[in-house]
Structure 1
Amino acid sequence: MTLVDTDPRATAPAPALDRDVPAAVRTTGLTKSYGGRTVVDALDVEVPAGVVSGFVGPNGAGKTTTIRMLLGLVRPTSGTGTVLGEPLSHPGRYLGGVGAMIEGPAFTPALSGRDNLLVLARAGGLPTARVAKVLDRVGLGARGDDAFRSYSLGMKQRLGIAAALLPEPRLLVLDEPTNGLDPAGIAQMRELLASFRDEGMTVLVSSHLLAEVEQVADHLVMIRQGRLVFQGTVADLVATQHPRIVLRTERPEDADVLADVAAALDWAASAAAGEVTVPLAAGTPDAEAFARAAELNRRAHGAGVVLTRLELERPTLEDAFFSLTGPGSGDVR
């Protein structure tokens, strides 16, 4: 019998946030209304420098509108903020240090990837020597001379990121960068974003794919219907949720016996269809959870109950999101 630890965050630990470093993005009361409809509602957001921050919420939550305000493309109805320490009201002061890809990359199909980037570099007054560097950085160095129309969706997304890297940004803003990618493309994108963070860049990733954000982000800004639901580290959010020990008995009728075993230890338990669930307190340390699982295993053996499953389940980011917002956000997954 092997205890399986189902931790969806099976990646290298994220670096600790340095609270003394100025925020890359900070907003106070940021609001945008169109007519009588408020799309972004009094957002107070702080994104620390040097992290990958997941900007998550359902489609229509106001993520893209918020990003457009940060990039100076949409004027806020009210509220204030700073990007890279400069006021939101003067985007010209900070946009030189920001790279962005929003609503998918747009390039000339007949031009090569390299030529598309050269056009953008010249139009933006940027060194054309950057083109070769950013193509290599996103893994397109060998395909830079191929026509954009021949690129796969994943390659097109990477070329869009290459374009965003042309100004050597300190802040990289990406809107749904994994949209439409296959599993291999998503994994490559995840590695790319983590590497940007490791180089000291701040990356703000807007997405409704919580499972993907969970794999790479160490900080979260979570909104719903234009309002802030949560902000902070992924670890802090998931720690507010309740892990649980799940056991399955070889004979379904033994589940009630095992539930009684747990009750004798003063541990709450529920039994159904041959499976027993023992909830743990939020923030229970792994050592304590494993010790409880081992004790249940011993007690089950002593009671003549054979286990076919013994598993520690941690809540996912998706679990945490729905616990905060309720089940009415079905397009978040």
Structure 2
Amino acid sequence: MPEGHTIHRLAQDYAEAFAGTEVRVTSPQGKFSDAADLLTGGRLTRTDAHGKHLFLGFGPAGHPTPAESIPARPAAPGRAAPGPATAPAPAAQDHDDPDHDDTAPSGWVHIHLGLFGKVAFGPVPAPPPADTVRLRLVNDTAHVDLRGPTTCALITAPEKRAVHDRLGPDPLREDADPGAAHRRISRSRTTVAALLMDQKVIAGVGNVYRAEVLFRHGIDPYRPGRDITPAEWDALWSDLVDLMREGVRANRIDTVRPEHTPEAMGRPPRVDDHGGEVYVYRRAHLPCLLCGTPVRTAGLAARNLFWCPTCQQR
């Protein structure tokens, strides 16, 4: 399942391709046809992401699109950003009330990719769509196809707010409250590894970031949440913010520090369909990059956990 950085990157990509333009909306598969008929000819006015949930805000044709609502892609190191900000998009829910904001979207498409959802962008003219495409957007310069999502639904602003309300803080959102996550963690006997994957506790962290951030801080994944100190939580949260922002920029997960890259260590680069350089994720039984101890794996809450028993003893 895509982790939160992928969803925030998609929010940026949708905005870059479609924000402020009139969009033709179709559902070749047919499951979204009624909503597509309501949206086609309108404008994409906002995009938003929270955890693993993507939101596309639509207004009628001619609907204004404020520049600050269009997220800018973070710049590569040493290069100027192409838009007004170098961080992921600001939280959009502060602007969702149509009674107080005449640029608020009139409806939102709520997307959750789940395990099998895929998004593919391309130029125009768009090729004939496959009959598995749930949602296609087309304007004068680009098209995008959505296949296989768990959720693809047209919702109202109050329904969108309800989704936000059931999710924990997202390290990529400006409105995130890391203290809210720690309050839940500090009251729980559940392992910190399981809590990091609980989207009600912290939104957007998946199996890769979970394994890697615990390794980077030397924390035993089986420690109860209530044993995580405020200082440890502050360090974990800050690291997640940095790692996930870099994930948005690079569109992949890299978690090794500069001194542990293949070039620095003289080792072969990682070969894995998930891409990116990592310490323990999917490296079961291979030697730890730091101490040489074989990386361990075990099932936890229906997911595979990876850790180094030597480096992670805190």
Q: TM-score, normalised by structure 2?
A: 0.28
> Whose radius of gyration is greater, 1 or 2?
1
Higher relative contact order (CA 8 A, sep 6+): 1
More helix as a share of residues: 1
More strand as a share of residues: 1
